[in-house]
């Protein structure tokens, strides 16, 4: 048996950050993210089933080129999954992947990459085994498999606002899979924009996995995990009642806390750059002067995400071009916003 499966999955930006993990990729605190629209990974898996082999056979192309590092990471990931799905070891897989965003843009690609991969792999498993799940169970399992590749990828399996991790008062939320926020979202948060300012596109000095690891000895870890849970609970109310002021406070406190935790790690480290700080300063000044509800958030790197309701796009574009682009590498920024989640590509070309 052979065939091909293609999925396209977006990246996401965390409003409440996942930072700290334990066991098999389980989060120390719940996180809440907004799925993006344009920053996508498309992954095709050409598969065939070979009854005479005992170990999965894999080749991997990124942008049509071999990529040994990612192929190795993918191979180990597949071997780990054979405990759950023994049939994986009988598969021959040719995986090929590409991103819509530039490779060296500094955008975290593991979320969209592992989400697209997990969705594709689960589709292949269903096809080969002949055992199909219902839609809910399919996406829950895809989120679970994506998490095992990269924690934040568990959230990219869904569109809109997504929570991953046990949260007080929300019995359905769990550490193993993400869930979409299903409470009514206020209109102001239904069309959020995210302009991503690329301050430095180079690979991070300290990767996320090492950063998560340093939370195990961080003296502020316990209180941080409690704060994140409180923020996730409060963010549900904010997304429903449209309280932009509180949204801005939580989002910016989360961004700065993430980097404060890095600085307070043992050893401490710093991923913010001069351009990052200059942009943050100007964003605050602009909000003060104009009363436009613009805020910033940060990933584990120096690049800045500007979040704002779609109705202010013209004013923010003007601010970026006038005052912020000078802090961006090659005058680079990416225009994105809230998205609906992954899609299965049915035309296999
Ligand atoms: C700061 O999901 O990249 O972006 O699970 O080790 O792959 P691994 O880490 P990763 O961590 C993301 C951390 C973050 C915050 C977030 O997305 O919640």
User: CATH number of the domain that 257 lies in?
Assistant: 3.30.70.890
**Ligand 1 proximity of 31 Cβ (cutoff 6 Å):** yes
Note the Cα 330 to chain centre separation in Å.
24
Check residue 346 and give its pLDDT: 85
Whole-Å CA distances, 274 to 14, 97, 295: 23, 34, 18
Same domain, 22 and 160: yes
CA of 300, closest atom in ligand 1 = 1
Our answer on whether the CB atom of 62 is closer than 6 Å to any ligand 1 atom is no
In terms of DSSP bridges, do strands 91-99 and 57-62 run parallel, antiparallel, or are they unpaired?
parallel
Q: Which residues pair with 97 in a beta bridge?
A: 43, 62
Tell me the residue range of the domain where 306 lies. Answer: 188-337
Cα(55) to ligand 1 centroid in Å equals 30
241 C-beta neighbours (distance < 10 Å), count: 14
Residues constituting the chain: 349
Residue 275 Cα to ligand 1 midpoint, Å, equals 22
Q: Measured from the CB, is residue 299 less than 6 Å from ligand 1?
A: yes
Q: How far is the CA of 37 from the centre of ligand 1 (A)?
A: 19
Q: What is the model's pLDDT at position 209?
A: 87
Specify the pLDDT at position 330.
81
Do 157 and 72 belong to one domain?
yes
**CATH code (residue 158):** 3.30.230.10
Q: Give residue 131 CA to ligand 1 midpoint distance, Å.
A: 32
Reported as half-sphere exposure (CB side, CA atoms, 13 A), residue 35 has a value of 29
- Predicted pLDDT of residue 204: 73
Distance 32 CA to ligand 1 centre (A): 12
CB 160, CB 340: distance < 8 Å: yes
Q: Are residues 175 and 75 part of one domain? A: yes
Are 209 and 292 contained in the same domain? yes
Q: Closest ligand 1 atom, CA of 31?
A: 18
Q: Are residues 274 and 320 in the same domain?
A: yes
Q: Quote the pLDDT of residue 106.
A: 60
**151 in contact with ligand 1, CB cutoff 6 A:** yes
Q: pLDDT at position 105, please?
A: 59
Residues 45 and 99 in one domain: yes
Co-location of 287 and 306 in the same domain: yes
The answer to whether 212 and 340 are in contact (CB under 8 A) is no
Contact 58, 19 (CB under 8 A): no
User: What pLDDT does 348 receive?
Assistant: 60
Q: Is 212 in the pocket of ligand 1 (CB under 6 A)?
A: yes
Burial class (CB in 10 A: 0-12, 13-18, 19+), 151: buried
Residues 291 and 252 in one domain: yes
Same domain, 158 and 207: no
Per-residue pLDDT of the chain (349 residues; tens, 9 = 90+): 899 999 999 999 999 999 999 999 999 999 999 999 999 999 999 999 987 888 999 999 999 999 998 899 999 999 999 999 999 999 999 999 999 987 655 666 899 999 999 999 999 999 999 999 999 999 999 999 999 999 999 999 999 999 999 999 999 999 999 999 999 999 999 999 999 999 988 877 788 889 999 999 999 999 999 999 999 999 999 999 999 999 999 999 999 999 999 999 999 999 999 999 999 999 999 999 999 999 999 999 999 999 999 999 999 999 999 999 999 988 888 999 999 999 999 866 5
User: Residue 207 has what pLDDT?
Assistant: 85
23 C-alpha to center of ligand 1: Å?
15
Q: Are residues 108 and 250 in the same domain?
A: no
Q: Answer yes or no: do 91 and 10 share one domain.
A: yes
Candidates 12, 6, 27; CA nearest to 215 is 27
CA distance 105 to 89: 35
Tell me, using a 6 A CB cutoff, whether residue 143 lines ligand 1.
Answer: no
Sign of CA dihedral 260, 262, 266, 270: negative
The minimum-distance atom of ligand 1 relative to the CA of 209 is 6
How remote is the CA of residue 17 from the centroid of ligand 1, in Å? 8
Q: Which helix (H) or strand (E) holds 75?
A: helix 68-81
Q: Measured from the CB, is residue 108 less than 6 Å from ligand 1?
A: yes
Residues 17 and 161 occupy one common structural domain: yes
Task: Say how far apart CA 287 and CA 289 lie, in whole Å.
Answer: 6
Rounded to whole angstroms, the Cα distance separating 17 from 28 reads 11
Number of domains in the chain: 2
pLDDT at residue number 216: 97
The predicted pLDDT at position 50 comes to 82
């Amino acid at each position: 048996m052979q065939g091909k499966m293609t999925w396209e999955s977006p990246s996401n930006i965390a409003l409440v950050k996942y930072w700290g993990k334990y066991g098999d990729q389980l989060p120390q605190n719940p996180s809440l993210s907004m799925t993006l629209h344009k920053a996508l990974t498309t992954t095709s898996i050409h598969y065939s089933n070979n009854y005479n082999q005992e170990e999965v056979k894999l080749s991997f192309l990124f942008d049509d080129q071999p990529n040994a590092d990612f192929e190795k990471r993918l191979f180990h990931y597949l071997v780990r999954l054979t405990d759950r799905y023994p049939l994986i070891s009988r598969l021959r897989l040719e995986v090929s992947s590409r991103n819509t965003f530039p490779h060296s843009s500094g955008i975290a690609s593991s979320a969209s990459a592992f989400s697209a991969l997990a969705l594709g792999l689960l589709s292949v498993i269903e096809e080969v085994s002949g055992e199909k799940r219902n839609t809910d169970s399919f996406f829950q399992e895809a989120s679970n498999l994506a998490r095992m590749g990269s924690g934040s990828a568990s959230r990219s399996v869904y569109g809109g606002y997504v929570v991953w991790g046990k949260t007080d008062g929300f019995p359905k939320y769990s550490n193993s899979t993400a869930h979409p926020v299903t409470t009514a979202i206020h209109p102001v948060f239904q069309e959020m924009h995210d302009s991503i300012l690329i301050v430095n596109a180079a690979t991070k000095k300290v990767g996320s996995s090492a950063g998560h690891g340093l939370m195990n000895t961080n003296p502020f870890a316990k209180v941080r995990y409690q704060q994140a849970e409180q923020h996730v609970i409060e963010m549900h109310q904010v997304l429903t009642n449209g309280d932009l002021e509180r949204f801005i406070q939580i989002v910016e406190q989360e961004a700065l806390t993430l980097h404060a935790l890095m600085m307070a790690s043992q050893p401490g480290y710093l991923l913010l750059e001069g351009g990052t700080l200059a942009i943050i300063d100007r964003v605050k000044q602009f909000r003060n002067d104009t009363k436009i509800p613009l805020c910033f958030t940060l990933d584990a790197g120096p690049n800045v995400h500007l979040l704002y309701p779609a109705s202010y796009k013209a004013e923010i574009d003007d601010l970026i071009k006038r005052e912020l682009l000078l802090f961006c590498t090659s005058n680079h920024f990416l225009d994105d916003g809230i998205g609906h989640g992954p899609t299965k590509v049915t035309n296999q070309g």
